[in-house]
């Protein structure tokens, strides 16, 4: 039986709430007050998972988004491509057909997003269908309620089965950190997801009152570091939910760099899920207001 004691014995206790807040405060204080340079702004733009997860999304919005991404290299030469575009399952086929800019990965939410409150068979079937439709990355939500109830083994087994049917794609596991009430719970969720084979662990869906926070990202990054030291497997981190301005992005970049180092500062290991941030970054890079996305 898998218990919290197992994870503590294997990976250590991690930092408590006070230690986490103190260290995050120090990281934020260390960020330069000067305007970020173009290299850093460009790097941040290349970390984006351009996200459209609206109830009223439709085929027309998908086509418009693809048109923008297809035109991007010619409109903004020399600027990094976004890492991926992330949409709902019903739009994957249209995106796959219309997106000709293959530098951008096709990501999709799945497995009962955003609550994960559906049958396991449905979650698995949805993931399998998404791959058939062309998804290259799938973002799934951990069964938060079961984790909080202490049913760690059930959560692990579910994620293992999801990983089994998604071997050919990048799997991002959303922890919904805003619902987890302590760094220890966030650390536990992180370790369970990584042991189940997640390629990325992700803060949140953006559908809850509290989404990404620097403290949650710090705790996740520490878990990734400790997991890497124990297993030599690098797992990525994705922050999502409320990351809408450049200063917030700089904070998360600083947290990841402080805990995990420069090896993680690339799209293979670090993503920022957002839509609103893209135009702000483009504007800062170009030196003028941009309304492209």
**At CA 130, angle to CA 126 and CA 134, rounded to 5?**
175
139 labelled catalytic: yes
User: Residue 85 is encoded by which pair of tokens?
Assistant: 């575009």
CA dihedral (138, 249, 203, 185) in degrees, to 10, reads 150
238 labelled catalytic: yes
Residue tagged active-site, from 238, 245, 258, 268: 238
Which contiguous run of DSSP H or E holds residue 50?
strand 48-52
Q: Answer left, alpha or beta for residue 147, where phi above 0 means left and psi between -120 and 50 means alpha.
A: alpha
Nearest by Cα to 278 from 65, 74, 11, 98: 65
Residue tagged active-site, from 202, 226, 258, 286: 202
Nearest by Cα to 158 from 144, 138, 177: 144
Residue tagged active-site, from 105, 139, 172, 226: 139
Nearest by Cα to 31 from 19, 44, 45, 16: 44
Please give the Cα distance from 138 to 172 (Å, whole number): 6
User: Residue 157 is encoded by which pair of tokens?
Assistant: 């087994």
3-state secondary structure 134-194: CCCEEEEECCHHHHHCCCHHHHHHHHHHHHHHCCCCEEEEECCHHHCCCHHHHHHHHHHHH
226 labelled catalytic: no
Please give the Cα distance from 293 to 289 (Å, whole number): 12
Please give the Cα distance from 271 to 85 (Å, whole number): 11
Q: Which are the catalytic amino acids? A: 139, 202, 238
């Amino acid at each position: 039986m898998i218990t919290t004691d197992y994870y503590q014995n294997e990976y250590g206790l991690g930092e408590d709430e006070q230690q986490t807040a103190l260290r995050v405060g120090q990281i934020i204080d260390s960020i330069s007050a000067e305007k970020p340079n173009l290299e850093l702004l460009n790097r941040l733009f290349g970390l984006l998972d351009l996200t459209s997860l609206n109830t009223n999304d439709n085929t027309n919005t998908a086509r418009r988004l693809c048109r923008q991404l297809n035109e991007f290299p010619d409109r903004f030469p020399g600027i990094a491509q976004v890492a991926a575009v992330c949409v709902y399952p019903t739009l994957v086929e249209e995106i796959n057909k219309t997106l000709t800019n293959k530098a951008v990965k096709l990501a999709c939410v799945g497995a009962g997003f955003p609550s994960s409150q559906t049958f396991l068979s449905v979650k698995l079937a949805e993931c399998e269908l998404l791959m058939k439709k062309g998804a290259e990355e799938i973002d799934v939500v951990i069964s938060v309620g079961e984790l909080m109830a202490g049913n760690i083994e059930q959560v692990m087994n579910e994620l293992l089965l999801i990983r089994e049917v998604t071997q050919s794609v990048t799997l991002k596991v959303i922890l919904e950190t805003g619902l987890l009430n302590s760094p220890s719970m966030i650390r536990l969720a992180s370790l369970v997801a990584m042991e189940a084979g997640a390629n990325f662990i992700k803060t949140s869906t953006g559908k809850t009152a509290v989404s990404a926070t620097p403290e949650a990202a710090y705790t996740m990054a520490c878990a990734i570091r400790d997991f890497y030291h124990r297993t030599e497997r690098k797992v990525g981190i994705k922050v999502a939910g409320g990351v809408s301005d450049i200063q917030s992005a700089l904070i998360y970049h600083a947290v990841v760099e402080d805990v995990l180092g420069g090896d993680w500062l690339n799209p293979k290991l670090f993503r920022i899920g957002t839509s609103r941030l893209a135009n702000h970054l483009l504007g800062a890079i170009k030196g003028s207001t941009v309304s492209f996305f």
